[in-house]
Amino acid sequence: MSIQSDHILPYYIPKSLHLPSHSISQLINESPPLENRSRMIEQIVDCVLEYLKRHTVAIDTLEGVNTDNDPFCLYLRNFSAESYPCEEWNIPNKVSSNIERTSSIVNKSGLEEFLETSFFPLDIVAVSNVFDYGSLQARLKMPNHDWLNRVRSLVASAHAIVLVLSELKPGVLDEIEMILELGKQGRTIVLLDKFEVTHEYAQLIEKFNTFDVNDASFKNQTIISKIKSLSMDDKVIPSNIDPAILNHPFSLLTEEESQSLHIGYMRHIMRSIELEYKRLAELQRLFAQSPKSFNKKKVNFLSSWRAELNEEMHSAFALSVCISDLKKTVVYLLYLAELGIPHRLAQAKDFVVLAHELASALRDEELEAKCTVIKQCLEKL
């Protein structure tokens, strides 16, 4: 079943999944060749895993801050400036694409790698952007409606802060005022990225340690000394991490996307495909018990139904990713694995491996155990 609906494409692919969006739309709205579907699914899952793992690293780091007062560096920047060519991003080749994007000197200069090396042993935590694929491993996703209060708790608890400034938009001004209000300007390094300090904001910017990332001598001893003085400072900063940050469930969707999506309609499609799968599974069970009771016509019908459902299940998989129901994504990967037996056994095994990786990243022990059992069964075939 190919889901034909003119309004699915503009609404159903989260911005954070812009890299594999073509694969997602094909699985939902078209019937791509069977040999291409495995590659598409792998590409989509790799992208989801990258976001999920980076969010988990950020949560783990911040939990260490709360429990042990572990020092960390908070990385802030203009989201609007984060548009890089895909080949510049530190992302797996599997999820790269030819999407045309504008460039930023910040990424080309290897800034994040430089900061990670220079601030060691401090961990660096960044707030995640929907177009976020830099080299920093700890990238925290948070809701838009309460981002300022949550960033405030991060600023208050941070041992050091790096703010990359390319333009003074309202959100960045809020962050600067917050840093000053909390008396954190002495622990903040402001990096100017093609930013011209006008007279209007000169006095504000002068309150910080500033460096021009476009200067050829940017990575000089002065900034390295400043970073080291912050990273090696053994002053204990009382932790004040908002519990809502640590407990907020991971989602690929922004709040705006969650509100605009026809999620109920998408779940209805997914439930229909699941119900059809269960009906087929029951019929297959009866066939396994008593194959002689099935005449040739029934066997052909069963085979045809299985092939059609395989196509529908690819759509269900893509829809579950779009609404960020990642536990369902794991389940559909396992269904696809079963539908691939026995003719596409290698592909079935690949799907179970992907399902297990995703279940592990979600830290869902029940799903992990289910994946392990199915993997063991496939190994015997």
d(CA 192, CA 307) in angstroms, rounded, equals 57
Helix runs in 217-364, H state only = 221-231, 243-247, 255-260, 263-289, 296-322, 326-339, 345-362
Tell which wins on pLDDT, 252 or 270. 270
d(CA 254, CA 277) in angstroms, rounded, equals 31
Residue ranges of domains in the chain, CATH in brackets: 8-17+254-379 (1.25.40), 51-247 (3.40.50.450)
d(CA 325, CA 261) in angstroms, rounded, equals 13
Read off the pLDDT of each residue in 135-148 and give the average, rounded to a whole number. Answer: 82
Percent of the chain residues past pLDDT 70, beyond the cut: 87
Tell which wins on pLDDT, 196 or 282. 282
pLDDT of 276: 93
**pLDDT tens across 44-71, in order?**
999 999 889 999 999 999 998 888 888 9
Query: Which of 194, 159, 162, 192 has its CA nearest to residue 175?
Result: 162
First and final C-alpha spacing in the chain? 29
User: Which residues on adjacent β-strands are paired with residue 211?
Assistant: 191
Contact indicator for 65, 343 with CB cutoff of 8 Å: no
d(CA 101, CA 352) in angstroms, rounded, equals 34
d(CA 348, CA 337) in angstroms, rounded, equals 4
Read off the pLDDT of each residue in 313-337 and give the average, rounded to a whole number. Answer: 94
Task: Record the tokens describing residue 192, joined without a space.
Answer: 């100017």
Read off the pLDDT of each residue in 103-120 and give the average, rounded to a whole number. Answer: 70
**Out of 273-282, 291-300, 348-357, which region has the weakest mean confidence (pLDDT)?**
291-300
Query: Which of 44, 45, 41 has its CA nearest to residue 336?
Result: 41
Nearest 5°: CA angle at 238, between 235 and 241?
135
Q: Quick check: 97 pLDDT over 60?
A: no
DSSP secondary structure code for residue 323 in this structure = T
Read off the pLDDT of each residue in 316-335 and give the average, rounded to a whole number. Answer: 94
